[in-house]
Amino acid sequence: MERLKELIRVINRLKVNQISVIGNYRPRETMSDEFYEKLCNNEFKNDDEAAQYFFNTNSDNRNYKLLKKRFEANLINTVFFIDAKQNNFTSSQRAYYTILKEMAAAKILIARGVGYLSIELLERSLQKAEKFEFTEMAAEITKILKRHYGTRDLDEQLFNYYKQLSEHYQKLTQIEDLAEEYFVESNLFSSNNKNNPNAIQKFAASRFEELKPHLYNYTTYRLHLYTRLLQIQVLSTQNNMEQMLKACEEAIEFFISINAKSGIQLFSNRKALAHYQLRQYEQGKIAIKKALEIHVLKSLSWFQDMYFYLILCLHTREYQEAYNTYQQVVQVPNYGQIPNEISEFWKIAEAYIYYLIAIEKIEAEEDKRFKLNRFLNEVPEFSKDKRIRNVPILIVQILFLLQGSGKSISKQNLATERINPIEQYCSRYLRKGNNFRSNCFIKMLLQIPNGYFNKIAIERKSIKYVKLLKESDVEFVTQTYEIELIPYEHLWEMALDSL
């Protein structure tokens, strides 16, 4: 009882009645609640719109700035009241967030002089941290417990016990931190040296070889996650997809053994990618379905894996299944709230889906025209790397312009007029390297107006580029799946048939 009274006194001093929790029932709705609902419904695009709604002014207004500051504080408070059970987290995720809360509570209680309850919380948290191999948490908890039993509740046996545990987890944390540092460092090096795969391979390989022995001595999640990701990076830059498949299978087997679903999901995705690069699309679909089975929430990685599954369906000519996948995604309640980085890929996929509908490869549930101009306005150009996402945008734009042009002089004139700038873009940005296949294919498409929309003339003019495309298997291995949504060989057939 004394422990409870002591805890109540601390809570009263901290004025819990002033803590606001967004989303919970209260008799009177506050402006923060309304702000929360409006943002959840994606009703404000920017600060000016919100300021206009609440105060009939712009975002520089003092009252709006104060509202925004208070609302942000309320949201931060709400983070601590997230119920992991209500959100269908995995057992590992539930344990992780529970430990975070208990550790934070214990530290606050220790700072307020509440020793025994805080130690009980920490000892309970340590059991969960050890069970789920949260090494960093275990290291921090054992350090606090060691200090407690050496300074406050003097107990030499418990002090020595937690001292040994602390040393073990501190050493293991250092190894895990090194693995994470090497992976992040290698990822950054790769991003800054995209045109030098040999340097990337050597950089990642040297760090993987240093970490590799630890895989046989420790079974923690973080160590195996980052070290095995480094291994995948090495094999990927070597274009050694067969070995990458084997490494993914070994990683999946390991994460199954420790019941780490996120690891299984991640390496199932990498396995699907290896199958894709080997053009083993059916096997890729099996692998990505395995990843999708693990997702509990409609998380960002779920949207990414669904996008990859859609790509694989398009590569196996299962266009109706691709359409069903697209429909499943866009009907998810939080689809409108996903980051632009992901939503732009889905907008591009939508364009290809509607092209397939237009040429009657897909039976749509509703008769809805695709607005090409709006699509081009919604998908901006990317200043950092125009070659990646602009390529499929350019291609689908050409495909729409060419559709039905063989039977209409006005469409031929429009297609010729709008394709000229695209030809200039290609000569500037799409050359050898990862875009070689795309360059070949766009050159093939450009032969359609050059051949005056006559199939015989088009086939004659495009022979050189068709041959180069068929010989470009090496370039296919090095390009990302976001570029070639549908195999260019298939799209060429469609483009000619749609004239």
* Residue 365, φ and ψ in degrees, nearest 5: -70, -25
360 backbone φψ class: left, alpha, beta (φ>0; ψ -120 to 50): left
- pLDDT tier at 175 (50, 70, 90 boundaries)? very high
Residue scoring higher pLDDT (357 or 75)? 357
Contact by Cβ (8 Å): 464, 369:
no
Residue 248, token pair as written in the block:
């993914």
Q: Which residues of 478-494 are buried (b: 16+ CB within 10 A; e: fewer)?
A: ebebbbbbbbbeebbeb
Kindly state the average pLDDT of the residues 417-423.
73
Q: Can you give the pTM of this predicted structure?
A: 0.80
Taking the C-alpha atoms of residue 374 and residue 367, their distance in angstroms, rounded to an integer, is: 18
Please name which of 207, 216, 176, 173 lies closest in space to residue 189, comparing C-alpha atoms. 207
Q: Mean pLDDT, the chain, as a whole number?
A: 83
Kindly state the average pLDDT of the residues 438-450.
87
Residue 319 per-residue DSSP state: H
Residue 92, token pair as written in the block:
């590992």
pLDDT of res. 290: 94
Query: Which amino acid, residue 263?
Result: G
- pLDDT tier at 284 (50, 70, 90 boundaries)? very high
Taking the C-alpha atoms of residue 431 and residue 391, their distance in angstroms, rounded to an integer, is: 12
Kindly state the average pLDDT of the residues 257-286.
94
pLDDT tens digits, one per residue of 360-411:
999 887 666 677 667 666 554 433 444 556 788 888 888 888 887 667 788 7
Taking the C-alpha atoms of residue 218 and residue 267, their distance in angstroms, rounded to an integer, is: 19
Please name which of 46, 221, 199 lies closest in space to residue 129, comparing C-alpha atoms. 221
Strands (E), 54-122: none
Query: Does residue 297 register a pLDDT over 50?
Result: yes
Q: Report helix, strand or coil for 361.
A: coil
Contact by Cβ (8 Å): 440, 465:
yes
3-state helix, strand, coil split of the chain in percent (to 5) is 75, 0, 25
Query: Does residue 211 register a pLDDT over 80?
Result: yes
- pLDDT tier at 460 (50, 70, 90 boundaries)? very high
pLDDT of res. 10: 34
- pLDDT tier at 126 (50, 70, 90 boundaries)? very high
- pLDDT tier at 321 (50, 70, 90 boundaries)? very high
Please name which of 275, 278, 331 lies closest in space to residue 289, comparing C-alpha atoms. 275
pLDDT of res. 368: 65
Query: Does residue 22 register a pLDDT over 60?
Result: no
Contact by Cβ (8 Å): 411, 457:
no
pLDDT of res. 322: 96
Query: Does residue 484 register a pLDDT over 60?
Result: yes
Task: Please report where in the chains the tokens 């340590």 appear, as a residue.
Answer: 126
pLDDT of res. 58: 86
Contact by Cβ (8 Å): 230, 211:
yes
- pLDDT tier at 311 (50, 70, 90 boundaries)? very high
pLDDT tens digits, one per residue of 227-269:
999 999 999 988 899 999 999 999 999 999 998 888 999 999 9
Contact by Cβ (8 Å): 379, 348:
yes
